Amino acid sequence: MAVTDRVSQIVEPLLADLDVTIYDIDMQASTLRITLDRSGGIDLDTIGEATRRISRALDLEDPIPGRYLLEVTSPGVERALRTPEHFAAVVGAQVRLKTRPGSGLDRRIAGELISANATSVRVHSDDGVDVDVPIDDITRARTHFEWATPTKPTGGGRRPDPTQGVQPPANESEGP
């Protein structure tokens, strides 16, 4: 059994009363990253509680040989898409895909995800073309959030004089 599958078996029951689901489990080098999600989003207090529970359980069960770093996080605004369920949950969103070399597709595809099933996704690309992409040909995928460009303040280019409108102190003694 893969380490991530064993970790999932240990962790999933711990989260039931928190109304949290495991979005993803990834083991890279010596970092175990567990991504949690909840309908409507997950807050930091819940992530903190989940982290304490997960850490204790993994220390007791010890499913990972050697030392590792545990990261418990939310998927974030620009979330990784790794499973058919991930893609299905974000139909209508802007996505960025990388495809494997030799797939016969552009290496980078960006646009609106218009459909997803167990084996492929369809993206209406930024080039205006609908592209069918087998999930097996996707090496990396993320939702894409278009951040607003902040507007520059206007004001005519001059700063106001901070002394404008301030009366000088009255002279207490008038001369002789």
Q: Which residues of the chain have pLDDT under 50?
A: none
CB-CB contact of 36 with 21 (8 Å): yes
Looking at residue 77, what is its pLDDT?
85
CATH class of 84-143: mainly beta
Residue-wise pLDDT tens digits, 76-92? 888 999 999 999 999 99
Q: What is the pLDDT of residue 151?
A: 72
- The whole-angstrom separation of Cα 14 and Cα 55 is 11
pLDDT score, position 162? 66
What's the confidence (pLDDT) of residue 96? 97
Q: What is the pLDDT of residue 148?
A: 76
According to DSSP, the residues that pair with 33 across neighbouring strands are 26, 71
Express each pLDDT in 98-117 by its tens digit: 999 999 998 999 999 999 99
* Fold matches, 3-73 and 84-143: no
pLDDT of residue 68: 94
C-alpha angle 136-35-26 in degrees, rounded to nearest 5 = 50
Task: Look at residue 165 in the predicted model and tell me its pLDDT.
Answer: 65
CATH architecture of 3-73: 2-Layer Sandwich (3.30)
Stated pTM of the model: 0.69
* Predicted pLDDT at 100: 94
**What type of residue sits at position 96?**
R
Instruction: List helix spans (H) across the chain.
Output: 3-15, 44-61, 84-89
Q: Which two tokens stand for residue 64?
A: 């990972």
Phi then psi for residue 115, to 5 deg, are: -165, 160
Listing DSSP states for 13-46 in one string gives: HHHGGGT-EEEEEEEETTEEEEEEE-TT---HHH
Helix locations, 66-143, DSSP H: 84-89
Say what the pLDDT of residue 32 is: 96
Domain edges within the chain: 3-73, 84-143
What is the Cα Rg of the chain in Å? 27
